[in-house]
Amino acid sequence: MRPSVARLGVGGPVGSGKTALLECLVPLLTQRGIEVAVVTNDLLTQEDADRLKRKGFLPEERIVGVETGSCPHTAIREDPTMNLLAIASLEQHYPQLDLIFVESGGDNLASTFSYDLIDAYIFVLDVGAGDDIPRKNGPGFLQADLVVINKIDIAPYVGADLEVIRRDAAERRRHKPTAYTNCKTGEGLEQVLDFINEKLLFHRSNNPRTDVA
């Protein structure tokens, strides 16, 4: 039996940089020979899907927009069937796929994924939301397999103390990893790539990054 394609959820509040993160990750993964597709869940339009398509780093048919009809968490947790159908269709048309991203629409700190939909998920936050975010104990932040704290470059301008975030995140997420990124420069993305390779692509013989500890 052919192993199913690895699925990675990407969630987090509106404007935290979920689509920007994908715009960085997809070309990096593609360069490493990993075959990728993306399912987006945009609240109002197919804007995220269209934005990704305009970038042109993936064939258009590998980017599917799913209208969710309600608050985005419904489509990634309580009833992820429409996303599962989109995944099944991608798997059927592109049997060579290694990884499918499921990008949630922007939601709140309580938003989590059903593990019937994905194998692991990333929760993206940005420092502009404040350095007290880890202390709010949002289930999305606490439970995600990887938290990405994005836009670290703007911390000084929004009065956010990165050291406070680092300390509180380590304390509250215990052994789960947290990455610190600036998607504009690519800073910190290596850690996210390492996470994807270790957590989702570990069983693949064509894993090009076997050197990851």
Partner 1 sequence: MTPSITTRDCDRRLALMQLSDSFFPSGSFTLSHGLESLVQSGQVRSPEDVTTYLQILLHNKVGASDVVALLAAHHGSVVGDLNQVRRADQMLFAYTLVQSAREAQQKSGHALLMVARSTWPDEQLESLQADVLKQQIHGLHPIIFAVVGRAAGLDADNTVFAYLHSWLTGLAGVAIRLGAVGHIHAQQMITTLAPDIDHVVQQKSDRSLDDLWSCTPAIDLAQMKHRHLPQRLFTN
Q: Which residues bind partner 1 (CB under 8 A)?
A: 43-45, 66-70, 74-75, 78-82, 84-85
Copy the structure tokens of residue 169.
């995140």
Residues 72, 125 contacting (CB under 8 angstroms): no
- Select 11 or 72, whichever has its Cβ closest to partner 1: 72
Q: Do strands 99-103 and 36-40 pair parallel, antiparallel, or not at all (unpaired)?
A: parallel
Which of residues 79 and 190 has its CB atom nearest to partner 1 in the complex? 79
Alpha-helical (H) ranges within 15-96 are: 18-31, 47-55, 72-73, 81-93
Q: State the nearest-atom distance from the C-beta of 9 to partner 1, in Å.
A: 16
CB 17 within 8 A of CB 183: yes
- Nearest-approach distance from CB 10 to partner 1, in angstroms: 20
Q: By the 8 A CB rule, do 149 and 181 touch?
A: yes
In the complex, the smallest distance separating the C-beta of residue 84 from partner 1, rounded to whole angstroms, is 7
